Structure 1
Amino acid sequence: MKSAVISVFVMLAMFLFVVKQGQAAVTCKQVDDALAACVPYLTNGGVPSTPCCNGVGELRTSAVTTADRQAACNCVKQAAARIPTIKEDNAATLPAKCHVQVDFPISKNTNCEDIH
């Protein structure tokens, strides 16, 4: 019995070492899905839609660690590169217009490595 318990702890410890602590849990698909409804606002301005603001809120709650925020930032930059008509001013004001504090700027010019 004692050896079985030790084996379980050894396996758990091995699992914890395999999972990297700095690895981001946020994916670009999540970021793209969260911000897809924001494209009309980002390209044309006006008022962001409720689904857009809900997506910004989802982004805020999913990017909790530094690695998550950096990953989300890089995903935002990749998405912005695919849509060249995005206006930088609209991207910068999106969180404030949605009344959501995001812990990194929404911009295609952000150095994501500087985000902590």
Structure 2
Amino acid sequence: MNKVMLSMLLLLSFLFFFHGEAAVPCTTVDAKAAACIGFATGKDAKPSAPCCMGLQQLAQTVKTVDDKKAICRCLKAGAKSLGIQDRFLSKMPQACNIKVGFPVSVNTNCETIH
């Protein structure tokens, strides 16, 4: 489950850009980002199709700023323990063809997202 949360960190940047609904639970974030762990940790050369699809689906669930912040928190919770690397994380938006509108990083302050 921690690996899934790390993948969620990758989704962090994607989710902030999109609009959604009520606060998204970490279980949903974990499920949608699980396939991204390999790329986020540098084990896979590129994000898999299931990774990008999960990120796009997760982004579509975001309807409020609180949703964005909740997803960010979920992602950051597992990032350190999973070994997510910024150099791979920052490539996720372009690799999955998702526009984020801000730098993607494990150091993103979830509370300043708007």
Q: Same fold (TM over 0.5)?
A: yes
Q: What do residues 40-66 of structure 1 show as CA deviations (whole Å, max 9, x unaligned)?
A: 001115110000001110121112210
Residue 107 of structure 1 and its aligned partner are, at CA, apart by: 2.8
- TM-score, normalised to structure 1, is 0.71
Q: What do residues 16-73 of structure 1 show as CA deviations (whole Å, max 9, x unaligned)?
A: xxxxxxx942011111111100000011151100000011101211122100000001
RMSD (CA atoms): 1.9
CA contact under 8 A between 1:48 and 1:94: conserved in structure 2?
yes
Q: Percent identity?
A: 41
* Structure 2: stretches of 5+ with no match in the other structure: 1-20
Please give the alpha-carbon distance, in whole angstroms, between the structure 2 residues aligned to 1:100 and 1:65: 18
Structure with higher RCO (Cα < 8 A, 6+ apart): 2
* Structure 1: stretches of 5+ with no match in the other structure: 1-22
Report what 1:31 is aligned to.
29
Task: Assess, with a 3 A threshold, how the Cα gap between structure 1 residues 103 and 29 changes in structure 2: closer, same or farther.
Answer: farther
Larger radius of gyration: 1
Count of aligned pairs between the two proteins? 93
Report what 1:88 is aligned to.
86
Report what 2:110 is aligned to.
112
Runs (4 or more) in structure 1 with deviation over 6 Å come to: none
Query: Which has the higher mean CA deviation after the structures are superposed, 34-43 or 92-101?
Result: 92-101
